[in-house]
Amino acid sequence: MVSKKVAGILSLKKTDEISVRSFAGEKCVNEYYLRLLLAGGFAKDLQVLEMSEIIGADILIGMDVIGYGDFVFTLKKESNISKAKIYFRSPAKGIKV
């Protein structure tokens, strides 16, 4: 899923309008196709839906992508500034923490 803001920044072209159901009810949302590129040469063509609001985020990466490899998200606070880093390796080799 992507926020409306990200869809605009990336100039995504709407391919369809899809009806989705959630705890908040049913509504129609825009559908897009994009190619996700991650470090290490990983590329995946995805169908993504636009959500007007993803609480606390602009992009939601699902298990359909995470399952292709080792995915690590770290958050470090330095001088009251939070720095996030995302690591991804495909194929999965297992990550020892």
pLDDT digit string, tens, across residues 59-90 = 888 888 888 888 888 888 888 888 888 888 88
Q: Is the dihedral of CA 29, 17, 35, 43 positive or negative?
A: positive
Instruction: Using only the alpha carbons of the chain, give its radius of gyration.
Output: 16
What is d(CA 80, CA 33) in angstroms, rounded to the nearest whole number? 37
- Angle 73-87-36 from CA coordinates, rounded to 5°: 105
Report the first-to-last Cα separation within the chain, whole angstroms. Answer: 28
> Does the pLDDT value for residue 97 go beyond 70?
no
Residue ranges of domains in the chain: 2-89
User: How much is the pLDDT for 19?
Assistant: 94
In contact, 2 and 14? CB cutoff 8 Å: no
pLDDT digit string, tens, across residues 24-67 = 789 899 999 999 888 778 888 999 999 877 778 888 888 888 88
pTM tops 0.85, yes or no: no
